[in-house]
Chains A and B, each alone.
Chain A
Amino acid sequence: MSINIDTARKVAKLARIRVDEADLAALATELSGILGFMEQLNEVDVEGVEPMTSVTPMRLKRRADVVTDGNIPAQILKNAPDAREGFFAVPKVVE
C-alpha cells in the first residue's frame, strides 16, 4: 500500500499535526516505506487466530464505581499553559 500526498495530508490532519504542504511529498514517501515493511505480515496465515487483547491471561480488575479522589483543582491546573478562574483556557470552540 503506497501513500500519496492526499493520504499523507489526511493522516496529518487526523493526527492533528501541522505539516507544510511542501513537506507532504517527503512524508508520503517515508510513510509508504514503513508500510511496505509491514506488508510482510500478509505472508502469515492468521486464519482462525484471534487478535491478542491481553498478553497475560488475566481479567481486568474492577473497582466500585465511587469517587475516590478530587477537590484538588489547583494541582490539576498547576501545569496548564493557560488557566483562568479555575478552568483550562482555550481558543474559542463554539461558533
Chain B
Amino acid sequence: MTHPNELTIAAARDALRQGELTATDLTMACLTAMDAGDGLNAFVHKTPELALDMARAADARIKTGDAPAMCGIPLGIKDLFCTKGVASQAGSRILQGFKPEYESTVTAQLFNAGAVMLGKLNMDEFAMGSSNETSCYGNAINPWKVDDRALTPGGSSGGSAAAVAADLCLAATGTDTGGSIRQPAAFTGIVGIKPTYGRVSRWGVVAFASSLDQAGPMTKSVRDAAIMLGAMSGHDPKDSTSAELAVPDFEAALTGDIRGRKIGIPREYRMEGMPAEIEALWTDGTAMLKDAGAEIVDISLPHTKYALPAYYVIAPAEASSNLARYDGVRYGHRAKLGPGDGITEMYEKTRAEGFGHEVQRRVMIGTYVLSAGFYDAYYNRARRVRALIKQDFDQVFAAGIDAILTPATPSAAFGLGEMANADPIQMYLNDVFTVTVNLAGLPGISVPVGQDKQGLPLGLQLIGKPWEEADLLNHAYVLERAAGFVVKPEKWW
C-alpha cells in the first residue's frame, strides 16, 4: 500500500484485520504526511512517540483477532479535548502550558478502542469562530486552493477539517456548538456529524456553551462517520446531560434504502441573496434523494429567521459563565502584576492578555445579556424563542418527516483575511443553516455533494430526529453515493 494515510477508516480496518497493513506502518505514513503538511498549520501539538506506542499496542491487539473497528486507526484530536499529559489549549493563549491530569471521556473511549492519537488540531479560540482565524496558533489553511489566495478551512474545527481533507490522518474529532463540525466539513469536502445533544459525553471537553456543545467525528466518508460515532457515543455518569440510551450499530444502519421516506425541504432556508450555486446544489441533492425513492415534502420552520439572534444571546451568555474559570489561579496564563496590584487587577490583566478579541467580545456580550435589568429582555426572551424553534422541528417530525435537507453553508470557503474588516455579524451568518440544529438539540450531518464553478467543495446538510443518528446516517449514505463526490484537493503544501 503506497499511501495508507489516504485510506478511509473502513478500508484501513479491513486491511489491518486481514494483515495487509500494520497499525505501525499506517501511523508512520500519517506521521510523515503530518510533517509534510506543516504548511496547513492543522496540527499544533504533535505526539509522534505516543502515536507509535499506541500503534504498537494496537498491532498486538489486532493479532489476537479481537480488536474493535477503531483499533490502530490514526486520528487527529481537536485541541478542545483534554488529553492527559498532552497540551490542551482550546486554541487560547490563556491555556498556554496547560497539560491536563485527566483524559476526556471521548478520547478515552477512542483510545480504549485502540485508536491512535497523532496530535492536537488547530481550532478557533474556545471554538468561537467560523474561519479558524481566532486561534492563538494562527490560521489553519484549507488544502483546497483555486488561485493564489489561502482559503479558510472553516471553523471552529478548522484544523480537523484541513487534516482530514489533506489525508494527514484518517479522521479527526470535532465539536459543534453552532456549526463548527458541519461548516468546516462542507468547506473541505469531507463528512461531519453533530450528534443529538446528550449522545456524546462532554466531560473533559473545554466548555463553550454547555447547552449547545456536542462532539462528533469528521471523516472521509459517511461509513467512517458511522464507525467513529459509535466509538465516541454512550452514556457517561460524569456528564449529567449524557443520555442513558443504548448506542445502536450505526454502520449496520447503512442499507442504502430510503424508499418511501419523507424528506422535508424547509422553505425558510431559501434565504434572500442565496448564491445560485448553493440553490442549484440544494435542488440537485433533492433530486438525488427523490431518485432514491424518497418522497419530497415542502415544509415550514417559521422561526428559522430568529435562530441566529437567539444563538448569539444564548451562546455568549453560557460562554461568559463557563469562561469565568480562566482567572489565572488554577491553570494557564497569569499576567505579570505591577506594584500594588490586587486580585481584581490580576483577573482583569490575565483575561485581557489571555483571551483574544472575539472571545473577549463574546464574554462581554454574555455578561451584558445576563446582567441585572437585561436578563429578561435578552436571555429569557432568547430561551423562549429557542423553545419555539425546537417546536417547529417537533411539529414537522410529528407530521411524518424523516429527515430535512438544507444547504450546509451559505457559500464555499472564503479567503483568509477577507472578513477581517467585516462586521462580526457577517461572520456569524456562516452559521445560518446549522445553528437551528444546535438550538433544537438535533443530529445534523454535512455531506460533500458538489463543487462551485471554481472547483471548491460544497456540502448539503441533513437533519434528523433526536436519537435517530442511525437513520440520519443512512440518508446521508444515499446522498453520498448519489453525489459521488470523489475529488481531492491537489497537493500544493
Instruction: Knowing A80-B330, A93-B342 are in contact, say whether A41-B371 is a contact too (CB < 8 A).
Output: no
Task: Indicate if the CB atoms of A81 and B387 lie closer than 8 Å.
Answer: no
Binary interface encoding of chain B residues 274-289 relative to chain A, with 1 for a CB under 8 A from any of its CBs, else 0: 0000000000000000
> What is the interface of chain B mostly: helix, strand, loop, or mixed?
helix
Which residues between 335 and 356 of chain B lie within 8 Å of chain A, taking CB atoms?
Answer: 337, 341-349, 351-352, 355
Binary interface encoding of chain A residues 45-79 relative to chain B, with 1 for a CB under 8 A from any of its CBs, else 0: 01001111111101011010000000010011011
Q: CA A52 – CA B212 in complex, angstroms?
A: 12
Task: Indicate if the CB atoms of A40 and B306 lie closer than 8 Å.
Answer: yes
- Quote the shortest CB–CB distance from A72 to chain B (angstroms): 8
| B-side contacts of A34, CB under 8 Å | 312, 361, 365, 424-425
Task: Indicate if the CB atoms of A37 and B312 lie closer than 8 Å.
Answer: yes
- Quote the shortest CB–CB distance from A50 to chain B (angstroms): 6
Task: Indicate if the CB atoms of A56 and B334 lie closer than 8 Å.
Answer: no
Q: CA A91 – CA B341 in complex, angstroms?
A: 8
- Quote the shortest CB–CB distance from A32 to chain B (angstroms): 10
Among residues of A, the one whose C-beta sits closest to the C-beta of B323 is: A15
- Residue of A38, A52, A92 near B386 (CB, 8 A) is A52
Task: Indicate if the CB atoms of B327 and A16 lie closer than 8 Å.
Answer: yes
Q: How many residues on B have C-beta within 8 angstroms of the other chain's C-beta atoms?
A: 75
Binary interface encoding of chain A residues 1-24 relative to chain B, with 1 for a CB under 8 A from any of its CBs, else 0: 101000100011111111100000
Task: Indicate if the CB atoms of B364 and A33 lie closer than 8 Å.
Answer: no
Task: Indicate if the CB atoms of B331 and A80 lie closer than 8 Å.
Answer: yes
Task: Indicate if the CB atoms of B388 and A49 lie closer than 8 Å.
Answer: yes
Instruction: Knowing A49-B388, A51-B384 are in contact, say whether A37-B329 is a contact too (CB < 8 A).
Output: no
Q: CA A7 – CA B305 in complex, angstroms?
A: 29
B397 at interface, CB cutoff 8 A: no
- B33-41, B96-104, B150-158, B247-255 - the one binding chain A: B96-104
Task: Indicate if the CB atoms of B343 and A49 lie closer than 8 Å.
Answer: no
| A-side contacts of B455, CB under 8 Å | none
Q: CA A56 – CA B363 in complex, angstroms?
A: 26
Task: Indicate if the CB atoms of A30 and B337 lie closer than 8 Å.
Answer: no
Task: Indicate if the CB atoms of A49 and B328 lie closer than 8 Å.
Answer: no
B198 at interface, CB cutoff 8 A: yes
B309 at interface, CB cutoff 8 A: yes
> What is the interface of chain A mostly: helix, strand, loop, or mixed?
loop
| B-side contacts of A42, CB under 8 Å | 381
Binary interface encoding of chain B residues 423-458 relative to chain A, with 1 for a CB under 8 A from any of its CBs, else 0: 111001000000000011100000000000000000
- Quote the shortest CB–CB distance from A89 to chain B (angstroms): 9
| A-side contacts of B383, CB under 8 Å | 51-53
Instruction: Knowing A33-B424, A38-B378, A55-B197 are in contact, say whether A82-B334 is a contact too (CB < 8 A).
Output: yes
Task: Indicate if the CB atoms of A75 and B440 lie closer than 8 Å.
Answer: no
Instruction: Knowing A34-B365, A82-B334, A88-B329 are in contact, say whether A17-B386 is a contact too (CB < 8 A).
Output: no
Task: Indicate if the CB atoms of A91 and B337 lie closer than 8 Å.
Answer: yes
Q: CA A80 – CA B441 in complex, angstroms?
A: 35
Among residues of A, the one whose C-beta sits closest to the C-beta of B466 is: A56
Among residues of B, the one whose C-beta sits closest to the C-beta of A93 is: B343
Among residues of B, the one whose C-beta sits closest to the C-beta of A10 is: B371
B269 at interface, CB cutoff 8 A: no
9 new A-B contacts at CB < 8 Å, known A12-B364, A56-B466, A79-B97:
A11-B367, A15-B363, A17-B351, A18-B352, A31-B365, A33-B424, A35-B368, A43-B306, A76-B330
Q: Which residues of chain A have a CB within 8 Å of any CB of chain B?
A: 1, 3, 7, 11-19, 27, 30-31, 33-35, 37-44, 46, 49-56, 58, 60-61, 63, 72, 75-76, 78-82, 88, 90-93
